[in-house]
Amino acid sequence: MSDNPSLGIAARGDDTALLLRRCAAGDRGAFRMLYDRWGGRLHGIALRITRQTSLAADATQDAFVQIWQQAHRFDPDRGSAEAFLVSLVRYRALDLMRRHSREVPGYEPDEREDETPDALSRLVTTAEGAALHRCLGTLDAERRRLVVLAFVEGLSHSELAQRLRVPLGTVKSWIRRSLLSLRECLAS
């Protein structure tokens, strides 16, 4: 039942929206298919943020429970199915991680990998991703790194300041300016 992992998410977006609609109607089979298709992706996202296998498993579990219970809230006119799923697991992972200390990381990914052109080029497999990729390219490298680190690793303003050895106020203003630039660029 494994899908081709190299494919971008939008290529399967219609099907994910369809699965969500069927979950909303109480279809357990559709729920299982959604898990087969998205379990690994959501767990990967949770693991990068929590850095602990058991916390990540909790976040992934909570996200799927919420997906089942809130599938009827998904409105394709107001957002994509993938944004719905990705957001659920990220908020859960961020919440769990900030309630626990992250002092004992059990999982150490190679984080330099995120900034390589190859990693960012994975974005271009979807129209939305391609637009974001283009707009991230308009930021200078340091600020792009900040946005990517924040999103992928779930770092807060002060954690980013520590990691990059930059004053907190500077981090905040860089993030805000980057987000403003992205908003402008994505609207054009």
Partner 1 sequence: MSGAPDRDLLAAEHVLGTLEGDEAREAARLLRDDPAFAAAVRVWEARLAPLADIVAPVAPPPELWDRIVAATGSATVVPLSLRRRLRIWQASTGIALAIAASLAAFVVLRPVPAPRVAVLAPLSGGVPVLLATAEPNGTLSVRPNGTIAVPGDRDLELWALAAGETRPRSLGVLPATGRQLVAALPPGTQLLVSLEPRGGSPTGQPTGPVLYGGRLTATD
Judged by CB under 8 A, the chain residues 14 through 43 that form the site for partner 1 are 14-15, 18-19, 22, 24, 26, 28, 30-33, 35, 39-41, 43
Q: Does 181 help bind partner 1 (rule: CB under 8 A)? A: no
Name 136's Cβ contacts closer than 8 Å, sequence gap at least 6.
Answer: 120, 123, 144, 147, 148, 182
Residues 98-137 that bind partner 1 (CB under 8 A): 109, 114, 119-120, 122-123, 125-126, 128-129, 132-133
Nearer to partner 1, 166 or 179 (CB): 179
Q: Which two tokens stand for residue 181?
A: 């630039």
Nearest distance, CB of residue 4 and partner 1, angstroms? 3
Position of tokens 């690994």?
Answer: 40
Nearest distance, CB of residue 150 and partner 1, angstroms? 5
Integer-rounded Cα radius of gyration of the chain = 17
Nearer to partner 1, 104 or 172 (CB): 172
Q: What share of the chain is helix, strand, coil (3-state, %, to 5)?
A: 75, 0, 25
